[in-house]
C-alpha cells in the first residue's frame, strides 16, 4: 500500500478498509510515514469524516499500536470518565477520588491541553512532585492499593495516538468527530477499564458548538464502546461559559480541593456529583442515580473523598 492512495481515497469520500487503516497506523507508528502525509490524511478526515465502521477500525488500530493493560485481577468493575474538554473543566480531579472512596476502581489515563482546553495532567503537575508518568506496573499497583490512578499514556500505550494527538493540535484538525472519538477511545480502552462515562461538552467554549454535533460525538463514543464490549453512558453538558470560577492549572487544583471539602462553585459540585452517580451505577455500587448521588454527597460531607485525594497525591 501507499499512503498517497489512502489520502486520495479519503479525499474522494470513499471509506477505508480495516486493512488499510491498520497498515497506515502501523507504518506511522514505525515512523515509515512522514508527518506531512499524515497531516494531509487528517485534513481529509476533517472535511469528509468517517463511517461508523471506519471509526471503530481506526480506534482499534491505534489501540493495538501499543500495550493494552489487563486489570482483570483487580476486583470490581473498573470505571473511567472522559471529558471532551473546556475552559475551567477540572472535574476529573475531584471526581476520581470521590468515586474511588466509594469502592469503584478508577483507572484514568488522561491527556494534556488540546487547543484552548486545559489538560488534567498539566493541572496535576502544578502540585510539586506529582508524577503523571508512572509505569504500567505502577499504575496497576496504585489502582489495586487505593482504587484510583491518574496518569499520562506511557510510551507503550497507544503510541500512534500520542503522535497524531500532537499533530492535530498544530494542523487545525482538532474539531473532528472521528479523530476526537478515536483518540479518546484508543487511550481509554487501553487502560483496561470495564465501563466509561463520557462528559461531552457543548457550547461556544467547546469543540462541539451545537447540540447536534455534541450528540453525534456522544453517539460515536458510545458506538465504539459497544463494539469493544465496554458499557458506557454519555452526558451532554454546558460549556457556553467556563466551569467554576478559576482558570489556570494551580488555581483549578485549589478549586478542586474546595469541592472535595464540600465547598466551591455549585456548577463544579453538581457536575462532579452527577458524573460520580453515573460511575457508581455502572460500577454496581448503587441501584439508581438518586441513591448514587446521595452516596457521593455523603462522601464529600464526611471527608472520605478528600482523604482519597490525599492518597492520590501521596
Q: What share of the chain is helix, strand, coil (3-state, %, to 5)?
A: 55, 10, 35
C-alpha cell at 181: 472519538
Q: Give SS3 for 150.
A: strand
Q: Which three cell numbers stand for residue 150?
A: 491518574
Asked if 50 and 196 sit in the same domain, the reply is no
Q: Which residues of 278-311 are buried (b: 16+ CB within 10 A; e: fewer)?
A: bbbbbbebbeeeeebbebbbebbeeebbbebbee
Same domain for 280 and 143? yes
**Residue 69 located in a structural domain:** no
| Bridge partners, 149 (sequence order) | 107
Whether residues 130 and 275 share a domain: the answer is: yes
User: Within the chain, which residues score under 50 in pLDDT?
Assistant: none
Contact 310, 127 (CB under 8 A): no
**Considering 37, 63, 89, which residue would you say is the last residue of a domain?**
63
Per-residue confidence (pLDDT) for residue 162, from 0 to 100: 86
Tell me what pLDDT residue 155 has. 66
- pLDDT value at residue 67: 87
Residue 238 shares a structural domain with residue 128: yes
Q: DSSP readout, 232-275? A: EEEEEEE-SS-SSS--SHHHHHHHHHHHHTT-S-HHHHHHHHHH
Can you give the C-alpha Rg of the chain in angstroms?
19
C-alpha cell read off for 185:
477511545
Total count of domains within the chain: 2
Question: Do the domain assignments include residue 73?
Answer: no
Q: How far apart are CA 262 and CA 256, in angstroms?
A: 10
**pLDDT value, residue 14:** 97
Query: What CATH number is given to the structural domain containing 36?
Result: 1.20.970.10
Residues 256, 208 share a domain: yes
Residue 305 located in a structural domain: yes
Residue 57: the pLDDT is 96
Residue 115, pLDDT score? 67
- Please tell me the predicted confidence (pLDDT) of residue 110: 85
User: Residues 289, 177: one domain?
Assistant: yes
88 lies in some domain: yes
Q: Are residues 143 and 277 in the same domain?
A: yes
72 in any annotated domain: no
Mark whether 163 and 17 lie in a shared domain.
no
Report the pLDDT value the prediction gives residue 256, as an integer from 0 to 100: 98
54 and 85 belong to one structural domain: no
Q: How far apart are CA 38 and CA 44, in angstroms?
A: 10
- Asked if residue 70 belongs to a domain, the reply is no
122's grid cell: 498539566
* Same domain (yes/no): 170, 210: yes
CATH of the domain at 226: 3.40.1030.10
CA–CA separation, 161 vs 184, rounded Å?
9
Residues 56 and 95 in one domain: no
Q: Catalytic residues, which ones?
A: 82, 161, 168, 183, 187
DSSP 75-120: SS--EEEEE---TT--THHHHHHHHHTTT--EEEEE---BTTBPPH
Domain presence at residue 71 = no
Q: Name the residue range of residue 91's domain.
A: 79-313
Q: Is residue 47 part of a domain?
A: yes
Say yes or no: 36 and 176 in one domain: no
Amino acid at each position: 500500500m501507499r499512503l498517497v492512495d489512502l489520502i486520495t481515497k479519503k479525499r474522494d469520500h470513499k471509506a477505508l478498509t480495516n486493512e488499510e487503516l491498520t497498515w497506515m497506523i502501523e507504518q506511522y507508528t514505525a515512523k515509515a510515514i512522514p508527518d506531512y502525509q499524515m497531516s494531509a490524511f487528517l485534513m481529509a478526515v476533517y472535511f469528509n469524516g468517517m463511517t461508523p465502521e471506519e471509526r471503530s477500525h481506526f480506534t482499534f488500530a491505534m489501540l493495538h499500536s501499543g500495550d493494552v493493560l489487563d486489570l482483570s485481577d483487580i476486583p470490581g468493575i473498573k470505571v473511567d470518565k472522559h471529558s471532551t474538554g473546556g475552559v475551567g473543566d477540572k472535574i476529573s480531579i475531584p471526581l476520581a477520588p470521590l468515586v474511588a472512596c466509594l469502592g469503584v476502581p478508577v483507572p484514568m489515563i488522561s491527556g494534556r491541553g488540546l487547543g484552548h482546553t486545559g489538560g488534567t495532567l498539566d493541572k496535576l503537575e502544578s502540585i510539586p512532585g506529582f508524577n503523571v508518568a508512572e509505569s504500567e506496573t505502577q499504575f496497576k499497583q496504585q489502582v489495586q492499593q487505593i482504587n484510583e490512578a491518574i496518569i499520562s499514556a506511557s510510551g507503550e500505550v497507544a503510541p500512534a495516538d500520542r503522535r497524531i494527538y500532537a499533530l492535530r493540535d498544530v494542523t487545525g484538525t482538532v474539531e473532528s468527530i472521528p479523530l476526537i472519538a478515536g483518540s479518546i477511545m484508543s487511550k481509554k480502552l487501553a487502560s483496561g477499564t470495564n465501563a466509561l462515562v463520557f462528559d461531552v461538552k457543548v457550547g461556544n467554549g467547546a469543540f462541539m458548538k451545537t447540540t447536534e454535533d455534541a450528540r453525534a460525538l456522544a453517539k460515536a463514543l458510545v458506538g465504539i464502546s459497544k463494539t469493544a464490549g465496554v458499557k458506557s453512558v454519555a452526558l451532554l453538558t454546558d460549556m457556553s461559559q467556563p466551569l467554576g470560577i478559576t482558570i489556570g492549572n494551580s488555581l483549578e487544583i485549589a478549586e478542586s480541593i474546595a469541592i472535595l471539602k464540600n465547598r466551591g462553585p455549585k456548577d463544579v459540585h453538581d457536575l462532579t456529583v452527577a458524573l460520580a452517580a453515573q460511575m457508581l451505577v455502572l460500577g454496581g455500587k448503587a441501584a439508581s442515580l438518586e441513591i448514587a448521588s446521595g452516596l457521593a454527597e455523603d462522601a464529600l460531607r464526611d471527608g472520605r473523598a478528600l482523604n482519597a485525594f490525599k492518597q492520590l497525591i501521596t
